[in-house]
Chain A
């Protein structure tokens, strides 16, 4: 019997609705643990009642029936999102297993939160291509599709591997490595006690063990908390769009969001406030900050806007500096360039559809550290390059996060939570005076979960350490 997997099945943030898909024998159970079906009472002639007024618990989940309800965090009863959920019974589903799909309506944040809840309640995060892999292995899709599955697995995991390698350098992996080093100490001591009963070795005391385990638990907790509240997870990578008025900042934002949120006109200074919008860029949560154009002004409202702009890019992880390629560099452009010196910067030379008068050389002179991309907001030209660049920056570790964590994705926090469960089980057993060989199972499992985050297999490292540290022999 396979286990139950879960993932966001739609592209991140591409539309107003995202789907969390769960597949496996426990799919329905997972849904039931976090979902409350809602029925809105219809009072005569009044139509649907607004929100909580008149709501009752709806009928239970049925096969192939779209059910309206709420995703609720069972820990504190908070409502995460209003959703439509459907349960499809095996075998007539995409994977031929029991499948649940939760259509979330809220933001990227609520989608992530819903996914996280499924992982806390019985599912594990799906690997790249795993739904399709299951569909194939269960005889659901044909051979030609299978080739594509191999490509998919290959492409995504290789990418994932690169990411893992990059993150090895990152602060998350440093933290994890530090915790694993402590776990390794504990494991080595347990191992040597179990495997060398006759050697002249200090016996493990449960007192010391308890202290060590609690220390590790605190470390994991701390990391998990940063992961939970980490700015990146909560708000996304902060990207400030900056530039003098009417160079196409708002158009850029709209292009990204594919909807008209910011006001775009040809009159300079239309964007009177800082507009923030969350989006997902190939899975990376991104907070786009569109700033008011920076210029000398007497207009009070616009002045406030400009101050806010300065503040916004001070907080930003990445600054996108937009220039108008059809006009010569102005004093204003130079001023902005000065302001953002030292910030990680991506320069967009916009209006590539018009005759270009700015050269890359000029920009390099202005800001030697920056990366330059020529774009046209009119045609959308160059936007894919912008996405590529942001993606590479994040996974290449070029963008530093203030609180020390580079990327905290759902897979990481999922594994960390599992690691925490294991260490807590071990502490509990330690308190009960359970035998070392039982306790060791949990400690080792904890070690392995953390190893998965940074892509380190457990292999024989513990045994190597035993021999390196203890003098043993016949």
Chain B
């Protein structure tokens, strides 16, 4: 092949899925000349699986991406079909926003945003190799012979990398949704020393809405008042589209059981490891044999299509079996499948090869994000993409990497889990993975992150100004409520009318707000002077006051956690030479190269005694330094 150079960039992003889009936008917004490459431009921000964004834990990630100046929140706000705040019966830490997306619109809006982004070029083409120089990455080679040079490259290959689809007994090389896979790049990455492994995921069938009988299902409507994902949006008014709930039954299970042997999953053809939280329907029936029915939501794929997504029912059974078992479900008796369910296997990296900045430990300039890092889900991918994009830019600028720790963001939890503990299955975020869930709420994501991203250079002046306003309004209102005295004669008739205990002595509005049976909206009746507040400020006021005690306790835990987190370790430190460490600890520390003692303490195989040895060593070094200088 005769190679020719077609352009020179600061950053090149391989893959324009959810990770790639955020990576490209972040790098460009931080002033980097950036090239975003996709094997097919129809795959830009494509949602090859479920037509929704957010949900438990994932919704938190989207809020954080937004607070950092990312695009996912804004894009779903533009293109949602239905929106729901989940878990509202529970505490504010687990309130989770989820929206059904119009897939085509989502893709088009994101593509438009990218096309309009200064510093960012979007091009169709297949990368087949990396250009290396002295062990560092210097650009990419295309299938056509074109090459692009760059200071940093971000791999966001998703399920394209040596993708293989399984439908029953049939298996073939393919990217998601029938798009071309990226085969050659996988071989060349291996040759560069990257240790690739196989993961697997799957998606259910799509059917035509007109072939379904909705009268046999339960309608699932969106919320009456839509809460936007983006802190930049105040209200979103839109005609919402419904989802539909129905269930499998014993008949369904019989059909599936009778055909277990024809499933790729049980046939042994699939070598990749699938996620436990996203099992195929045959896996569910196999593992939970005593469960009489499994629920499934029928979800719209978009306004310009009649295609419907059959949630919870991914499968690698042959098409005839798919037809048969889907049709046993009430409402689906006459369904017409237009895209069959499939399982897909792909190459990914062991994330233990990465630094917390998502840069590869042994290849300078190479950053990695998304499913390539062993995660699963659009939101997890986007979050990593954003961080990888930022860190590629910061690295080129010679600045410190942007690292969020476990007490600052779900993104911090996600990345720390991946690069410190590794994962044996596609990794999904969950609120229970976060130790400091009460503080990492979706309502305060901007408070936690926007300032920091502004300093890094990713947040626009417009967003920053709005952030300041929301923050200050909330602070002022909390102050006002805490100082606003109420006396029994003024408020007791109101309290009695809502079934709350009357006051004996004077109190404050803030104190009243702490009562479980009262909320901010209700107090309007006895609080005529309240200011006009944005939704975001208002939620913050309510949560901050109501749960002050718990939140304060959690901040104390965080303070303790930070003690070890702020003790920095040199990633190039020679652990083999440190006496006192056990052999296993030496090996693990040398492999993971933790950036802080806190991170070291989370590595499996590193004991508290090893951490003490590290602490003492650090102190020794600190004291020696002045003498050496």
Contact = CB atoms under 8 A, between A and B. Distances in A.
A2 B567 CA distance: 14
A436 interface: yes
Contact of B277 (A136, A143, A467): A467
Contacts of B55: 198
A63 to B, nearest CB: 27
A299 interface: no
A472 interface: yes
B620 A473 contact: no
A197 interface: yes
A137 interface: yes
A133 B614 CA distance: 12
Contacts of B592: none
Which of B55, B294, B311, B432 gathers most chain A CB within 10 Å?
B432
B291 interface: yes
B330 to A, nearest CB: 15
Contacts of B550: 438, 441
Interface string B397-413: 00000000000000000
Contact of A471 (B291, B421, B430): B291
Contact of B609 (A158, A194, A471): A158
Interface string A457-474: 001101100110001111
Contacts of B620: 143, 146
Interface in B585-629: 604, 607-609, 612-613, 615-616, 619-620, 623-624
A474 B50 contact: yes
A196 interface: yes
A461 B482 CA distance: 42
B432 A473 contact: no
Interface in B508-560: 516, 547, 550, 553-554, 559-560
Most central of A2, A151, A161, A463 by chain B CB within 10 Å: A463
A136 B619 contact: yes
A153 B624 CA distance: 22
B431 A194 contact: yes
A350 to B, nearest CB: 40
B414 interface: no
Contacts of B213: none
Interface in B54-92: 55-57, 86-87, 90-92
Contacts of A139: 623
B557 to A, nearest CB: 9
Interface in A159-200: 161, 191, 193-200
A433 interface: yes
Interface string B266-293: 0000000000111100001001100101
Contact of A474 (B278, B619, B623): B278
A194 B94 contact: yes
B339 to A, nearest CB: 16
A437 B550 CA distance: 10
A463 B94 CA distance: 16
Given A199-B295, A436-B90, A471-B284, A146 B50 contact: no
Nearest to A457: B604
Contact of A437 (B437, B553, B623): B437
B435 to A, nearest CB: 9
A196 B56 contact: yes
Contacts of A195: 56-57, 94, 430-432
Nearest to A191: B432
Given A157-B609, A197-B56, A150 B431 contact: no
Interface string A114-150: 0000000000000101000100110100010010011
A473 B91 contact: no
Given A471-B288, A472-B277, A197 B623 contact: no
Nearest to A193: B90
A438 B430 contact: no
A315 interface: no
B49 A474 contact: yes
B91 A435 contact: yes
> For A143, A150, A463, which residue has the most chain B Cβ atoms within 10 angstroms?
A150
By CB atoms of chain A within 10 A, which of B56, B433, B553, B616 has the most?
Answer: B616
Contacts of B438: 437-438, 441
Nearest to B279: A473
Interface in B276-329: 276-279, 284, 287-288, 291, 293-295, 297, 311-312, 314
Given A153-B609, A195-B431, A197-B56, A137 B615 contact: yes
Contacts of A158: 609
A462 B616 contact: no
For chain A, what secondary structure do more than half of its interface residues adopt (helix, strand, loop), or is it mixed? helix
B86 A198 contact: yes
A137 B619 contact: yes
Interface in A418-474: 432-438, 441, 459-460, 462-463, 466-467, 471-474
Contacts of A463: 430, 432-433
B463 to A, nearest CB: 29
Given A143-B620, A157-B607, A194-B432, A437 B615 contact: no
A364 interface: no
A460 B288 CA distance: 22
A441 B87 CA distance: 17
B96 interface: yes
A287 to B, nearest CB: 32
A154 B91 contact: no
A436 B312 contact: no
A149 B86 contact: no
Contacts of B616: 133, 136-137, 146, 149-150, 153
A334 B289 CA distance: 65
B579 interface: yes
A141 B295 CA distance: 65
B168 to A, nearest CB: 20
A437 B295 contact: no
Contacts of B432: 191, 194-195, 462-463, 466
Nearest to B57: A195
B434 to A, nearest CB: 11
A153 B613 contact: yes
Q: Which of A127, A136, A149, A154 has the most CB of B within 10 A?
A: A154
B294 A200 contact: yes
A129 B609 CA distance: 10
Contact of B93 (A2, A133, A437): A437
A123 B291 CA distance: 49
A426 B150 CA distance: 55
Contacts of B7: none
Contacts of A462: 432
B145 interface: no
A474 B56 CA distance: 12
Contacts of A433: 516
Contacts of A193: 90
B580 interface: yes
Given A471-B291, A473-B277, 16 more contacts: A2-B563, A143-B620, A146-B616, A150-B613, A157-B612, A195-B431, A200-B295, A434-B516, A436-B90, A436-B91, A437-B92, A460-B433, A462-B432, A473-B314, A474-B278, A474-B312
Closest CB pairs A-B (n = 8) = A435-B91, A157-B609, A437-B91, A467-B276, A150-B580, A200-B295, A471-B288, A437-B93
Interface of B: 49-50, 55-57, 86-87, 90-94, 96, 247, 276-279, 284, 287-288, 291, 293-295, 297, 311-312, 314, 421, 430-433, 437-438, 516, 547, 550, 553-554, 559-560, 563, 579-580, 604, 607-609, 612-613, 615-616, 619-620, 623-624
10 contacts: A127-B608, A150-B579, A150-B613, A158-B609, A436-B94, A437-B91, A437-B94, A471-B288, A472-B277, A473-B278
